[in-house]
Amino acid sequence: MPAFSENDPLNMRLELESVPTGSPASEVARQLVSLLTAGDLAPGSRLPSERVLAERLGVGRSAVREALAALEILGIVQIRPGSGTYLRGGTSDLLPTTLSWGLMLASNRTRELLEIRSSLERTAAILAVQRATDEELDALGATLDQQDAALDDPTAFIEADVRFHILLARAGGNDVLADLLQSLRSMLSVWVGRRVTTREATEAAYREHRAVFDAMRSRDVAATQRAMDEHMATASARIEHADPVPTE
């Protein structure tokens, strides 16, 4: 299978620029996207090691790790533990992803992503309150029970939080909207070092979700929209004001 080696001539043709001090992992991802769509790599090619990429870019390996994780979420690369990171498809396959996400990766666009997410979550909630079946509402309620049980376990709480939003979006019956929201959540989870880490934070998020659910259960469209707007405002503030992911 095609792969980079330390002595591979292709490895010498990497045109990677040093990342300015303090730049986020998104700049690393931007340069990698440019490399992967340049046409020099065949599908299945293995990328240079994290160490080599970190040295070429002048960043810590953790920044490279974050960037590769983002590209895996976007379907550009596949990370195989113990083996390396591989290009998933050819240049033509990557272009739609590059066009839709590359500009966002090029600079810190967190606030703009949050604005888009808030608008889409509001739309998803309005559709869901109108279309959700009783079974789908029961499933949403189950995620709230999981959140309530995980108030002292941030990792488990976040997993239940994500399930709540996924189920809510799917309950609206618009798969395109649900997929867009999933992509936005993935992007935000990669680029922002935000995690609900305290009991106070989990309780606040739980109350916000409960308000959305109660309004949906009552089939109150206006109340559902208000509750989701309030949740998005506070959730976005938590993300936007969080400390960035450290780069080693």
Q: What is the 3-state secondary structure (H, E, C) of the chain?
A: CCECCCCCHHHHCCCCCCCCCCCCHHHHHHHHHHHHCCCCCCCCCECCCHHHHHHHHCCCHHHHHHHHHHHHHCCCEEEECCCEEEECCCHHHHHHHHHHHHHHHCCCCHHHHHHHHHHHHHHHHHHHHHHCCHHHHHHHHHHHHHHHHCCCCHHHHHHHHHHHHHHHHHHCCCHHHHHHHHHHHHHHHHHCCCCCCCHHHHHHHHHHHHHHHHHHHCCCHHHHHHHHHHHHHHHHHHHHCCCCCCCC
In the numeric block, which tokens belong to residue 161?
Answer: 């939080």
184 within 8 A of 177, measured Cβ to Cβ? no
Q: Give 91-128 pLDDT, tens digit per residue.
A: 555 555 554 555 455 445 677 888 889 999 999 999 99
Q: Give 73-83 pLDDT, tens digit per residue.
A: 767 788 898 88
Alpha-carbon distance 58 to 51, whole Å?
A: 10
What is the pLDDT, as a whole number, of residue 4? 44
In the numeric block, which tokens belong to residue 69?
Answer: 């994780």
Tell how far CA 58 is from the center of its chain: 25
Q: Give 214-243 pLDDT, tens digit per residue.
A: 999 999 999 999 999 999 999 888 777 654
Alpha-carbon distance 78 to 92, whole Å?
A: 17
- Quick one: average pLDDT of 24-45? 73
Q: What predicted TM-score, i.e. pTM, was given to this entire model?
A: 0.60
